[in-house]
């Protein structure tokens, strides 16, 4: 007995976890500063933690009301109908549901390179084929309509990440509108806004009023600090919002996840503090790292360090975990997430020491 031919499917390579690294190096996880997965260094909102506690005795039943409440709350926030909000297990789940709803076997998608690997994985799980558009380092990874259109060949789904992971570059709103108007009628543009809280640029969600070939994905994993709970959502045009009921896995997001997300949405203070820290850290990293970096709209900075694998290993031995970007196709770069002020200062000191040694 064997599964189907999975040779085209590559495993997702996550940032390294503090416990994993601590076990390997015989260290205490508390002595590690983990800046490899763009998580919120302040963790979740205390209100979300309280909601998780309060929900614990109720997890014997399937989530229903909480799911409805979350879709309604998000709908009110974005001024769309609840049917337009597809609550999912992480934003990765939203990417899957869009693949389920749009891809016939053999359909092609167009994804950024370098870029988030799950776009490709999701398409392949759903028997799709993958083409890529190049983000050029020489061009500071610029994201313009032509960046996409030069490679576009009528694909069924085109993925746009703004702010982009791992480069931090953004698509302007005008660029998204231009693209929505330039692509063929059967092409869906998926705008991945996993890091949108960290930029001043407005969300593309209101473009759904005028364009029915656009979907926006968002997550509670990053700025809301709920990565461990797996809650995200897609916002889709009214015209095909009801497709959700046909493609979702029943009870997509958990009771605990929905309740925590509802509480997190009410804690503006925690979100503001999170964004403020990230902006400070982003500037600090760019000002103080002894390596070329790129402007970032996210809670991370990409830095060119030479041999990323060697640099990531060496910083890790000293207690700072950064993301080696080799798996993104950038073997000369590391991505450093924004930490607390203390964690970020410590990371910069250690990375700079390592760079001095590696270069000597």
Ligand X SMILES: *Cc1c(COP(=O)(O)O)cnc(C)c1O
Binding residues (CB under 6 A) for ligand X: these are 90-92, 116, 161, 165, 192, 194, 219, 221-222, 227, 232
| Nearer Cβ to ligand X (94/101) | 94
Q: Which is nearer to ligand X, 155 or 193 (CB)?
A: 193
Q: Cα Rg for the chain, rounded, in angstroms?
A: 20
Q: Which residues contact 290 (CB under 8 A, 6 or more apart)?
A: 351, 352, 355, 356
Burial group, residue 261, by CB count within 10 angstroms (0-12, 13-18, 19+):
buried
CB atoms within 10 A of CB 106: 9
Upstream peptide bond of 114 is cis (omega within 30 degrees of 0): yes
Q: Which lies closer to ligand X via its Cβ, residue 128 or residue 168?
A: 168
- Cβ nearer to ligand X, comparing 167 with 315: 167
Q: Which residue, 190 or 350, has its beta carbon nearer to ligand X? A: 190
**Cβ proximity to ligand X, 91 vs 355, nearer residue:** 91
- The distance of Cα 76 from the centroid of its chain, to the nearest Å, equals 23
Q: Which two tokens stand for residue 109?
A: 């998608």
Q: Name the residue whose CB lies closest to ligand X.
A: 90
Strand order in the sheet with 214-219: 85-88, 232-235, 214-219, 188-192, 157-161, 108-113, 129-134
What is the closest distance, in whole angstroms, from the C-beta atom of residue 221 to ligand X in the complex? 3
Q: Which residue's structure tokens are 């910083």?
A: 315
Shortest distance (Å) from residue 192 CB to ligand X = 5
Q: Would you tell me how many other CB atoms lie within 10 Å of the CB of residue 296? A: 29
Q: Residue 80 has which token pair?
A: 């769309």
Closest-CA residue to 186 (of 156, 147, 212, 230): 156
Distance (Å) of CA 38 to CA 17, 79, 133, 274, 318: 12, 28, 24, 12, 20
Rounded to the nearest whole angstrom, what is the least distance from the CB of residue 232 to ligand X in the complex?
4
CB of 37: closest distance to ligand X in angstroms? 8
* Between 230 and 259, CB nearer to ligand X: 230
Which residue, 92 or 155, is less far from ligand X as judged by CB? 92
Q: How far is the CB of 143 from ligand X (least distance, A)?
A: 13
Integer Cα distance of 266 and 273 in angstroms: 14
């Amino acid at each position: 007995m064997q599964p189907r031919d999975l040779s085209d499917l590559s495993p997702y390579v996550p940032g390294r976890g503090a416990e994993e690294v601590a076990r390997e190096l015989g260290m205490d996880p508390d002595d590690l500063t983990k800046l490899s997965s763009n998580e919120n260094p302040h963790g979740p909102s205390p209100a979300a933690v309280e909601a998780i506690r309060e929900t614990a005795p109720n997890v014997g039943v399937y989530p229903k009301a909480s799911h409805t409440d979350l879709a309604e709350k998000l709908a009110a926030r974005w001024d769309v109908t609840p049917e337009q909000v597809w609550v999912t297990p992480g934003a990765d789940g939203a990417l899957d549901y869009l693949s389920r709803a749009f891809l016939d076997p053999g359909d092609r998608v167009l994804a950024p390179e370098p870029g988030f690997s799950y776009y490709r994985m999701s398409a392949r799980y759903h028997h799709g084929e993958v083409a890529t558009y190049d983000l050029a380092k020489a061009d500071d990874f610029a994201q313009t309509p032509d960046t996409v259109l030069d490679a576009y060949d009528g694909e069924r789904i085109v993925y746009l990440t703004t702010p982009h992971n791992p480069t931090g570059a953004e698509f302007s709103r005008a660029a998204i509108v231009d693209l929505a108007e330039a692509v063929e009628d059967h092409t869906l543009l998926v705008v991945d806004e996993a890091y949108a809280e960290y930029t001043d640029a407005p969300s593309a969600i209101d473009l759904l009023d005028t364009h029915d070939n656009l979907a926006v994905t968002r997550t509670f994993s990053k700025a809301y600090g709920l990565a461990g709970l797996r809650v995200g959502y897609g916002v889709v045009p009214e015209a095909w919002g009801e497709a959700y009921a046909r493609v979702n896995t029943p009870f997509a997001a958990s009771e605990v996840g929905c309740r925590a997300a509802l509480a997190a949405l009410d804690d503006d203070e925690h979100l503001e503090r999170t964004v403020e820290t990230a902006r400070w850290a982003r500037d600090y990293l760019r000002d103080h790292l002894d390596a070329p970096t790129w402007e970032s709209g996210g809670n991370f900075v990409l830095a060119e360090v030479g041999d990323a694998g060697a640099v990531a290993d060496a910083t890790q031995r000293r207690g700072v975990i950064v993301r080696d970007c080799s798996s993104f196709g950038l073997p000369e770069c590391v991505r450093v997430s924004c930490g607390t002020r203390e964690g970020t200062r410590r990371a910069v000191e250690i990375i700079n020491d390592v760079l001095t040694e590696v270069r000597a």
